[in-house]
Amino acid sequence: MLKVKDIGEHQLLAIINQYCDQAKNGDDGAILDISTHKKLVVTTDILVENVHFSDRTTPPHSIGYRAVAANLSDIAAMGGTPKAITVGLSLKKDTEISWIEAVYQGMKQCLTHFNCTIVGGDITSSVVNTIAITALGEVHESEAIYRHTAQAGDLIVITGSHGLARAGLEMLLYPEKYSHVSSKTKEKVILAHQYPQPRLDVIKTLANCKPYGKITGMDSSDGLADAIIQICNKSKMGAIVNLRKIPIDSGILAMTDFDTALHWTLYGGEDFELILCVDSDIAYKLKQQLSQECQIIGEITTPCEIQLVDEQNVYSKLLLNQKNTYQHF
């Protein structure tokens, strides 16, 4: 099996360049045409072997796809449209070339779906395989989404199902534990973990909801609860979240008990859905257009306290320093 140490840097670059935008790649930097009426959006995300992916749970094609999806999700969370990415690749010298090509094929598949390209990057040797992607996008300033602009009375809107990626990881790690689960559910949760979908479609839907004021939000890369906490923290606001309004996917409930399912839904992460805080008019327009892909789960309040309630009873309080949310350190 051909490996990086067998071919050297320049031959490796020649292989990688096949997956890049030839018109914009090959110089010291890429020059992109950005409208003078729009702002540039830049975001960087890093995936490290045995931290974000492993051979046990993630084939190389999926690694590339997820790496791109994470970055495009950040662009969506800012209200933007992706234009291009650069890829920094740190590789062990005995990494197989077929592994690298599969990673880039996964990247290409995700990028092609969103009309985006690879325009450059860098490679270096390392003791552990690492993928660092910088994504570039554009957004009208009036349509930009930030975390710090939530106001009392805004409704909290979430897209999609949360916890599926966490359920997929559990399924991949402990398949024998879930032998009772149907093959359809297994496929569903594993797909959610290995091939998450950045919600750029929601940004297009928002354009149909104009006129609208300031939209606050972020994605759920570190979990639904974390997103609500971050928004409230940055906006210096509180929130009331209705437990009964949070959809728990039937696939998750087929795998485990309710308390665990709720925990995965709130804290699982890597679903790359959007959490938006908008006025009631926009919230109900979104709900109407996205149907079951959108739920209104709560409201932003003035006190700096986040309450998860069951009807009128306080179920628990999501403190701003909630230890259940994912922390790298």
Domains of the chain as residue ranges with CATH: 4-140 (3.30.1330.10), 155-317 (3.90.650.10)
pLDDT in tens, 291-320: 888 999 999 999 888 988 887 677 777 654
HSE toward the beta carbon, residue 193, CA cutoff 13 A: 27
For the residues 172-181, what does the mean pLDDT come to?
95
Higher pLDDT, 36 or 47: 47
Residue type at 100 in one-letter notation:
I
Integer Cα distance of 142 and 140 in angstroms: 5
For residues 268-296, give the mean pLDDT: 93
**182's tokens:** 């149907």
Sequence-separated (6 or more) residues with CB below 8 Å from residue 124: 88, 89, 90, 91
pTM for this entry? 0.89
Average pLDDT taken over every residue of the chain: 90
Residue 81 pLDDT > 50 = yes
How far, in Å, are 21, 44, 122, 242 from residue 25 at the CA level?
6, 19, 11, 49
> Lowest-confidence range among 63-77, 139-153, 188-202?
139-153
**217 — pLDDT class (breaks 50, 70, 90):** very high
Q: How far is CA 39 from CA 116, 138, 141, 237, in A?
A: 17, 5, 6, 27
Residue 177 CB: number of other CB atoms within 10 A?
A: 12
Q: What is the pLDDT of residues 262-272, one digit of tens each?
A: 999 999 999 99
pLDDT value of residue 304: 80
Give the pLDDT score at 25.
Answer: 66
285: pLDDT strictly greater than 70 = yes
Tell me the three state secondary structure of residue 274: strand
Average pLDDT rounded to a whole number, residues 205-216? 82
142-146, 158-162, 259-263, 323-327: range with lowest mean pLDDT: 323-327
pLDDT of residue 207: 84
Q: Are 213 and 294 in contact (CB under 8 A)?
A: no
Q: Is the Cα dihedral 210, 202, 268, 115 positive or negative?
A: negative
